[in-house]
Amino acid sequence: MSVKIESEPLFSAKNLKLITDPINKNNPITVLVLGICSALAVTVKLEPSVVMAISVIAVVTLANVITSLLRNTIPSRIRIIVQLVIIASLVILVDEILKAFAYDVSKQLSVFVGLIITNCIIMGRLEAFALGNKPWPSALDGLGNGIGYGVILVIVGFFRELLGSGTLWDYRVIPESFYISNGGFYENNGLFILPPMALIIVGIIIWIQRSRTRELIENE
Amino acid sequence: MKKQSNLYIFMYSSVMVIIVAALLSLASTALRPFQEKNIETEKRLDILRSVGRATEVSSASNKHEYVGNEFNQVVVEQLVVNRKGNRVEGVDPFTVDLKVEFAKPEAEQNLPVYVAKLNDGSTKYILPLLGRGLWGPIWGYISLDDDFNTVYGASFAHKSETPGLGAEIANVDFQQQFKGKQIFRDSKFVSISVVKGGAGSSDPHSVDAVSGGTITSQGLEDMIKDCLMGYQEFFKKSKN
């Protein structure tokens, strides 16, 4: 008797949806409202936003794959602890490697290492997806959610650095001569470097997203 | 073994903890030499930056080598002094940990001084600083002209200040403000204050604070004052 193995192409429509969904319709920040804390804290400048986005993508993808591989052995009563251990060790490992081989990046990241561990998106994906799915779809799911989170971070970081400091990636965009202190007419908006402005920008993003994606709007 | 049994859970968590601990300690031990080298180079770089050197570090192919060469070229002497301004022999200045020193009674503190000779023949004295920011330690180096009053340059770094706010003390624009400031007014030690809302450029004793980084700025001001205070006797003795 031959056993029929059901195989699915690696990038089937169903699998691709795992990546694209969290970027728009199921975005962790704007739709699920997860990971807001780190989105406020690190988006003052573009560079840390990008570094944070890349680190979260790496950690959530790896954690998803590892959890998925172990999913049949993890006792359900301590599954949260197991997930935490996986995430924490991954983050520490990433941090140690960066400190040894990419010291400058690691200096940028220093504060955020703790924030990655506490990022509820990662736990949420492990709990909701990786525990019940195979490694490959879990990897895609992690990748999608990481990107969905990262995109919002980069957008917020872009506007906050541009309007709050007049620079992008620490390069001056708005010329010095425009500033009032140099006899011009322009002044940086100090509100943009404070955390509340990140919430307001996220709010605006949610508004735009909802007016474009009608199915996100709840029925009364 | 049943997956929900207590024994299984105990076994599972013990094995997990042992594997993770082994993995992390292995990584930590294997990577430590690289990390220590990075930290050492970073320290040399901070010292060089306080006298405006090592500006091409980002384009150097071998960072460790470039910084090492530059350091040996610029820093001609390293010494340790105590609070009375006398030299202390037998202590390597580069390995002095200010955190340990500040915990000692004042009379036993060892304070490092780096003497730099620049291309124009002038001698600068570089002094290490260590203080507290909002979230963690901040540190830096300040270089003085040989009148022991005028600041030639400064470089600051931090462990975990908020990016875009307190972390701006590591920004070159901020550090540049210190050039030309004076730490003595009528031969009385006044240090340099970090003023919120803009210091007049004519005031030789104050610089602009970082906007949104009040506590970090305050910590920086205290750091400069507290650290330079310990060198007062050294300044007096060296001037004569």
Residue from the list A42, A76, A78 with its beta carbon closest to the beta carbon of B13: A78
How far is CA B53 from each of CA A153, A170, B57, B77, B208, rounded to the nearest angstrom? 35, 21, 9, 16, 24
Residue from the list B8, B24, B162 with its beta carbon closest to the beta carbon of A89: B24
Q: Please provide the DSSP assignment of B167-225 as one string.
A: GGGGSHHHHHTTTT-BSEETTEE---EEETT---TT-TTEEEPPTT-HHHHHHHHHHHH
Q: For chain A, what are the domain ranges?
A: 28-208
Q: What is the ipTM of this complex?
A: 0.73
Residue A152: per-residue pLDDT: 93
Q: How far, in Å, CA of B123 to CA of B95, rounded?
A: 23
Residue B210: per-residue pLDDT: 84
**Chain B residue nearest residue A165, CA to CA:** B164
Mean pLDDT taken over chain A:
85
In 3D space, the residue among B227, B198, B222, B202 whose CA is nearest the CA of residue B210 turns out to be B198
Give B-chain residues touching A41 at CB under 8 angstroms: 162
Chain A within 8 Å of B211 (Cβ-Cβ)? Answer: yes
Across the interface, whether the CB atoms of B163 and A48 are under 8 A apart is answered yes
Q: Which two tokens stand for residue B167?
A: 């972390």
Residue from the list B24, B31, B164 with its beta carbon closest to the beta carbon of A100: B31
Residue A108: per-residue pLDDT: 67
B1: Cβ contacts below 8 Å, ≥ 6 apart:
B7, B8, B11
How far B194 CA sits from the closest chain A CA (Å)? 19
Cα within 13 Å of Cα(B184), Cβ side? 14
pLDDT above 80: residue A111: no
Mean pLDDT of A83-106: 85
Residue from the list A44, A85, A96 with its beta carbon closest to the beta carbon of B163: A44
Across the interface, whether the CB atoms of A111 and B3 are under 8 A apart is answered no
Residue A5: per-residue pLDDT: 57
Across the interface, whether the CB atoms of B12 and A89 are under 8 A apart is answered no
Mean pLDDT of A38-64: 87
**Chain A residue nearest residue B159, CA to CA:** A110
Q: In sequence order, what E strands does B67-135 have? A: 75-81, 111-117, 123-132
Residue B7: per-residue pLDDT: 92
Size (chain B), residues = 240
Strand partners, B193: B206
Strand partners, B117: B123
How far B68 CA sits from the closest chain A CA (Å)? 17
How far B18 CA sits from the closest chain A CA (Å)? 12
pLDDT digits (tens, 9 = 90+) for A175-216: 888 888 777 788 888 888 888 899 999 999 999 998 888 888
Alpha carbon of residue A123 to chain centroid: 13
Across the interface, whether the CB atoms of B9 and A77 are under 8 A apart is answered yes
Across the interface, whether the CB atoms of A111 and B23 are under 8 A apart is answered no
pLDDT above 80: residue A159: yes
pLDDT above 90: residue A112: no
Chain A within 8 Å of B90 (Cβ-Cβ)? Answer: no
Residue A1: per-residue pLDDT: 47
Give A-chain residues touching B17 at CB under 8 angstroms: 85
Across the interface, whether the CB atoms of A93 and B35 are under 8 A apart is answered no
Tell me the average confidence (pLDDT) per consecutive run of 10 residues in chain B, 240 residues long.
83 94 94 91 90 77 85 89 86 87 87 90 91 91 90 89 81 87 86 78 82 88 91 84
Residue B1: per-residue pLDDT: 62
How far B80 CA sits from the closest chain A CA (Å)? 29
pLDDT digits (tens, 9 = 90+) for B93-115: 888 888 888 888 888 888 999 99
- Planar angle of CA A43, A47, A51, nearest 5 degrees: 90
Chain B within 8 Å of A125 (Cβ-Cβ)? Answer: no
Residue from the list B20, B27, B35 with its beta carbon closest to the beta carbon of A85: B20
Which range, A96-105, A108-117, B134-143, has the best average confidence (pLDDT)? Answer: B134-143
How many Cβ contacts (< 8 angstroms) between chains A and B? 75
How far A155 CA sits from the closest chain B CA (Å)? 16
Residue from the list A45, A85, A194 with its beta carbon closest to the beta carbon of B163: A45
Across the interface, whether the CB atoms of B162 and A103 are under 8 A apart is answered no
Residue B108: per-residue pLDDT: 85
In 3D space, the residue among B139, B228, B234 whose CA is nearest the CA of residue B189 turns out to be B228
